[in-house]
Amino acid sequence: MKYDYSKNVKPWIPGLCCYTPGKTIKGYVKLASNENNYGPAPKVAEALRKAAGEINLYPYKDLELRKKIAEYCNTAPENIITGNGSDESIDLVFKTFKGPVLSFNPTYAEYGIFSEALGEKYLQIDLEKDFSFPLERYLKESRKANILLVCSPNNPTGGVLTEKELRRILEEGKTTVVDEAYVEFHGTSFTPLVKEYENLIILRTFSKAFALAGLRVGYIIADPKIIKLLDRVKPPFSVNAFAIEAALAALEDKRYMRETVGKMIKDREMLYKALKNKYATYPSESNFILADVSPQRSEDVCRKLLDKKIIVRDLGKYPGFSGEYVRVSVGTTEENKKFLEALKDL
C-alpha cells in the first residue's frame, strides 16, 4: 500500500531537527555525553540481577522509589513524579502546561525539539558573550511565554543561576522549570523553594551523578497539585522495573555517588586549568567544560582527539556567538590524564 504521509503528518514535524547523541566507540575514552564514567554503585548490578527474576510483573515499586527520592531531596513523596529520564519529564511538562516556552541559547537542545514536536513555540534569548545569564533581557522576553525554562547548571556552558535571579523569574507567576540534571556537581539545589513557589518545577535525573544514563530514570520535584496534573499525562509504566531497582540501589549507597562526584569535581578544576592555558574556557559547575578552540576549528580538534581514541563533543559555532566550541566531559582520573596528554599535541 502506498501512503502519502504528507497529507496526514502534523505539518511542523518534517521540519524538526533531530537530536544528535555523543558517539560511543568500544575501547575509546568517551568524554562526550556528560556521563559518570566511574559507573554506578556496585549494589546496582546486584539489584539488576535480582530484578531479572520478576520481569513478568509490571513495575510496582514507584511509590517506594518516590519515598527514597523524597528523603534524598528533603521533600515529600507527594512532591515527586518519576519519568523515563529527564527527557520524559521535559516532554511531560510541555504536554501538560501551555507554551510558548522561553529558554536561552546555548542550552540543552532537547527543549526546542520537545516543544516544537508538540506544536509549541520555542523562544530563546542569547546568553551574554561570556555565557552569563542576562536576567533583565530574559524577564522582558518572558512576557511572550508561558513556560519559563532555565537549565542550571546549564548544558553546555556550565554556568548557574543565583537564587536571587530565580526568585525574580518565579515572581512573574508563570510555570517555571529549572533543569537540575547536573546539580550534584554544583552542590546547591533550588528544591527548598518548591515550598514557597507553587509555580516551580524542578527536573532531576539519575543519568549523571548516579551513573544510570542507560536505564533512563528521572524525576520532577514540584507542588503536589502540579504532580497530580503531570500524573494524568504520564504513561503509567514509563519507568521500567530494572530502572526502579537500580535507582533504589543507587540511593542506598549515596556515599559511593558522592565519592565519584568528588573526584570528578577535583579533576574538573585540573582540566579547566589545562584547557584555559590553551583556549578561552568557561568555568563550570558541572561535569563538563566548554572551550572555544578558535582560531582552530572545533571539527579539527575533535578529529585529532578521535585519532587518539578520545571522543569529545563538537559543538561548532553557536548562532549569535563567535567561536568554535568543544565540550569535554570529565571522565575518570585515568581518562582525564589521557585527555591532558592528547591536549598537549593540539
Ligand X SMILES: Cc1ncc(COP(=O)(O)O)c(C=O)c1O
Q: Which residues bind to ligand X, rule: CB under 6 A?
A: 34, 85-87, 108, 151, 155, 179, 181, 205, 207, 213, 218
Based on the number of CB atoms within 10 Å of its own CB, is 325 exposed (0-12), middle (13-18) or buried (19 or more)? buried
Q: Which residues pair with 202 in a beta bridge?
A: 178, 221
Q: What order of strands is seen across the sheet that includes strand 29-31?
A: 29-31, 310-316, 325-329, 288-292, 280-282
Smaller CB separation from ligand X, 87 or 314: 87
Q: Pick the closer one to ligand X by CB: 87 or 223.
A: 87
Rounded CA-CA distance 244/224 in Å is 21
Minimal distance in Å, beta carbon 37 to ligand X?
A: 14
Q: How far is the CB of 313 from ligand X (least distance, A)?
A: 10
Shortest distance (Å) from residue 90 CB to ligand X: 7
∠ CA 68-72-74, rounded to 5° = 110
**Kind plus residue range of the DSSP H or E element containing 242:** helix 241-252
Phi, psi for residue 41 in degrees, rounded to 5? -55, 145
Cβ proximity to ligand X, 112 vs 343, nearer residue: 112
Query: Minimum CB separation from ligand X for residue 222, in Å?
Result: 16
| Chain residue at closest Cβ approach to ligand X | 85
Q: Give least dist CB 89 to ligand X, A.
A: 8
Q: What angle do CA 298, 300, 303 make, to 5 degrees?
A: 110
Closest to ligand X by CB, 265 or 343: 265
Closer Cβ to ligand X, 93 or 293, answer by number: 93
Which of 189, 190, 207 is closest to 199 using CA atoms?
Answer: 190
**Cβ 292 to ligand X, closest distance in Å?**
19
Pick 34 or 274: Cβ nearer ligand X = 34
